[in-house]
Amino acid sequence: MTKDDLKDIIISDEEEREKQIHELIKGKRALDINKELSKTSTFGEKMADKIAKFAGSWSFLGFFAIVVLAWAFINSRIVLNKPFDRYPYVFLNLVLGCVASIQAPIIMMSQNREAKKDRLRSENEYLINLKSEIILEDMHMKIDEIIREHRVLKKELEDIKMEVEKSNTNIQLRRKTDGKSDTGGKEPGLYS
């Protein structure tokens, strides 16, 4: 169901509204956004997610720190006679710049996919909230109708009770007046 279908439920007539409410209740609206997007994601998008996940982890920072320290140690201590990258480590800076220039767009691609997931997730949550709101509104209307009918029935029951009490009072008055003239104030017996 789309947003327009949900909006139509609010303004439709009673029978149609009830039919659509039941259809709405039967329909599952909640989606697993991760599963839905993984069905359509390409190999490059999956790789970008994996690289961004690794690049934003403590293991990446530890690995990179070890590489930089090893580079500095090897070029400063071990290869004293002829280091391939002298102290300002120009080649190391070039490598780090290349890694950063490659890593940045990959992380941006992953962030764009996450933003797309967030948009889909929020739209899905909006539709679920709208569905819940419509169902609650319908239940509230039904409960109000039940309360109105209950009040009417209660009033009718009270009226019936009053009529029965009046009838009982009238019957008792008739019996008393009839009993005084026929039996001398005693109730007539069944076998008298």
Please write the tens of the pLDDT for every residue from 1-49. 565 665 555 555 677 777 777 777 776 666 777 777 778 888 988 888 8
CB 109 within 8 A of CB 55: no
Which residue blocks in 74-89 are alpha helix, DSSP H?
A: none
* C-alpha–C-alpha distance, residues 109 and 119, integer Å: 15
Would the pTM count as exceeding 0.75? no
Q: Where are the domains of the chain?
A: 3-153
Please write the tens of the pLDDT for every residue from 104-125. 998 898 898 889 889 888 888 8
